[in-house]
Structure 1
Amino acid sequence: MTWQNALHDYQLYLKIERGLSTNSVNSYKRDVEKLIRFLEKNEIKTSPIKITDEILQQFIYSISKEVNARSQSRIISGLRSFFDYLIFENYREDNPTAILETPKIGRKLPDTLAIEEIDLLISQIDLSTSEGERNRAILETLYSCGLRVTELITLKISDLFFAEGFIKVTGKGNKERFVPINEKTQKYITIYINQIRSHINIKKGFEDTLFLNRRGKQLTRNMIFIIIKELALKAELGKTVSPHTFRHSFATHLLENGADLRSIQQMLGHESITTTEIYMHIDKTFLKEVVEKYHPRN
């Protein structure tokens, strides 16, 4: 078995059997490709079936000079998944990453914006342009629904259930969930659809895609990042702001205003409550207030 054959089959497995998104599949693919490039550069002749833990230790040592601990940990995790797949398919009996030590990393707390900062950033949008009306609807949707950037750009008009107050979101692994959407955000989306989108020459295949570029096609992830980065610079926030910042702010503000963690987990589409629990670390004063308010001894 060659590395390329193994990598090709692994990608199909991730996509078809595990139902991962294209972005997730590509991320796992890159981890294995880093190892392949290391083997080629150092002229190490071995196959996915015969590679040893000693060779993998050499690889991790080499990348430790180039990437931080968090990235090392991510690569080790990706390789572990790859070799678990080979075991699953009976190509190997052991996982050579088993003895690799994952670097200790602190848990990175998400960046968030205050409500005033979100309002300030959105106020920088030039609403005299068609793109401005679209961008306001985009940012309001990111913040009011806590979407991932991929969920935003793939949102469809047929996913809007405004009469019921929900939108249907397709998340990781093509899992669908319904997220509440407030009337203010509904209004901005409706304005965009009726006044801006209706005048765009929509390309075939994108008739149902909600947010479009000026050429009538789906927006890219990168374009959303650029829109937000430019607005953050205009607002002089002094922070690194990304689409995910709006998602983190959505969850944090819900938590600070009394929402329970299980509800937030459902709206964010987190498979595990552990992922959602990171927001509990953001504001310790909130936890103190919860105990003071709800504990019988108080």
Structure 2
Amino acid sequence: MTRAHTTAQLFSRWIHGKPKNTQLAYERDIRHFAAFLSQASPQQVTLNDLDLHALSLDDLQLFMDYMESKGLAPSTRNRRMSAIKSFLGFAHKVGYITVNVGVAMELLSLENRLAERILSETQVTMMIALESGQRDKLLLKTLYYTGARVSEVCNLIWRDVHPNRDSGQISLFGKGGKGRVVRIPASLYQELEQFRANASIDAPVFPSQKGNKGLQRDRIHEIVRAAGERIGIKGVSPHWLRHAHASHSLERNAPIHLVQQTLGHSSIATTSKYLHAKPNDSSGMYLPS
């Protein structure tokens, strides 16, 4: 049983102990659902606008239809619905609701479309070359050469960027606060240092227009999407550059365990999805520079 009396209180108990990025992701997904039901924007609603007691299976199915009408990718629709189903499951488990309508809601059956989201080396090179802004060009390069997740790049500060013999290295902090160090080509390290100028070690590597804060994930998505559209590809996301890093480095004979370490995969089975060729440096060192 729970002493929670509101949806927000229940949500707080549900995410307790989860990594910060996971908490934020779950809140975004639940707020999108609340916004749909309230016919408002996610910024205009609170978690308490979502009445779990009044939910029906129809609400869940209509939300899935709505997301499809907005052109959201099947994986995005499934992710949001998975968050809702998990939250409802928790609410039922602790006795906050008596009926869990999420049990009857099935997720979409997804085909393995990973290959469709892997850019070629030429496409990545063109995306970078056609980006005119220095910050955004370096952002694209960093995403590609490190294989970093968006959240990891959002949090980058200059303290995380160091020389490493004849190249450079970047410290990334991923899921669950796990850290890893990724080597980058000397050319990228030198460009980053030139871009840094006199910025302090605690300043963001990729500052927003205000300068004192790093780029937010939505803005990074916009930058990458625009770079993809310049070469005629719609829907490119930062994760596509992560996919490209894995695929290209494996094709260039980077050891699979090295790619696993560089990307921060907990299981080598995840990395194996990118194998297109044969499977001590980070794998970014195998990419063209």
Fold-level match, TM-score > 0.5?
Answer: yes
2:131 and 2:76 map into 1 onto residues whose CA distance is 35
Residue 79 of structure 1 deviates from its aligned partner by 2.3
Tell me the residue number matched to 1:115. Answer: 121
AA aligned opposite 1:25: Y
Tell me the residue number matched to 1:295. Answer: none
Relative distance call for 1:255 and 1:62 in structure 2 (3 A) is same
2:153 and 2:220 map into 1 onto residues whose CA distance is 9
AA aligned opposite 1:222: D
Local SS of the residue matching 1:10: helix
Q: Which runs of 5+ in 1 are unaligned?
A: 39-45, 127-131, 291-298
1:231 and 1:36 map into 2 onto residues whose CA distance is 34
1:47 and 1:244 map into 2 onto residues whose CA distance is 34
AA aligned opposite 1:79: I
AA aligned opposite 1:60: L
Q: Are the counterparts in 1 of residues 10 and 91 from structure 2 also a CA contact under 8 Å?
A: no
Q: Which runs of 5+ in 2 are unaligned?
A: 40-49, 69-73, 280-289
Q: Are the counterparts in 2 of residues 10 and 85 from structure 1 also a CA contact under 8 Å?
A: no
TM (normalized to structure 2)?
A: 0.72
Tell me the residue number matched to 2:82. Answer: 77
AA aligned opposite 1:248: H
Residue 252 of structure 1 deviates from its aligned partner by 0.8
Relative distance call for 1:47 and 1:244 in structure 2 (3 A) is closer
Tell me the residue number matched to 2:31. Answer: 30
Q: Deviations over 1:35-80 (max 9, x none)?
A: 8649xxxxxxx964x66xxx64322333343334555533441122
Relative distance call for 1:25 and 1:253 in structure 2 (3 A) is same
Q: Are the counterparts in 2 of residues 146 and 247 from structure 1 also a CA contact under 8 Å?
A: yes
Identity %: 23
Tell me the residue number matched to 1:278. Answer: 273
TM (normalized to structure 1)?
A: 0.70
Q: Are the counterparts in 2 of residues 31 and 79 from structure 1 also a CA contact under 8 Å?
A: no
Q: Deviations over 1:174-210 (max 9, x none)?
A: 332222222121111111112xxx2x7x8xxx94322
What are the residue-to-residue correspondences of 1:171-186 with 2, within 5 Å?
171-186=174-189
AA aligned opposite 2:237: S
RMSD: 3.5
Tell me the residue number matched to 1:57. Answer: 57
Residue 272 of structure 1 deviates from its aligned partner by 4.2
Q: Are the counterparts in 1 of residues 33 and 63 from structure 2 also a CA contact under 8 Å?
A: no
Residue 26 of structure 1 deviates from its aligned partner by 2.4
Of 71, 88, 110, the residue aligned with 1:105 is 110
Local SS of the residue matching 2:112: coil
Relative distance call for 1:136 and 1:72 in structure 2 (3 A) is closer
Residue 105 of structure 1 deviates from its aligned partner by 2.4
Q: Are the counterparts in 2 of residues 7 and 32 from structure 1 also a CA contact under 8 Å?
A: no
Of 263, 266, 279, the residue aligned with 2:258 is 263
1:7 and 1:58 map into 2 onto residues whose CA distance is 23
Residue 227 of structure 1 deviates from its aligned partner by 3.3
Structure whose CA Rg is larger: 1
Tell me the residue number matched to 1:18. Answer: 18
Relative distance call for 1:265 and 1:23 in structure 2 (3 A) is farther
AA aligned opposite 1:251: A
AA aligned opposite 2:233: K
Residue 249 of structure 1 deviates from its aligned partner by 0.8
Q: Are the counterparts in 2 of residues 60 and 72 from structure 1 also a CA contact under 8 Å?
A: no
AA aligned opposite 1:249: A
Q: 2:170 matched to 1:167?
A: yes
Q: Deviations over 1:208-239 (max 9, x none)?
A: 322223432322333333433444444xx221
Tell me the residue number matched to 1:138. Answer: 139
Tell me the residue number matched to 2:42. Answer: none
Tell me the residue number matched to 1:220. Answer: 216
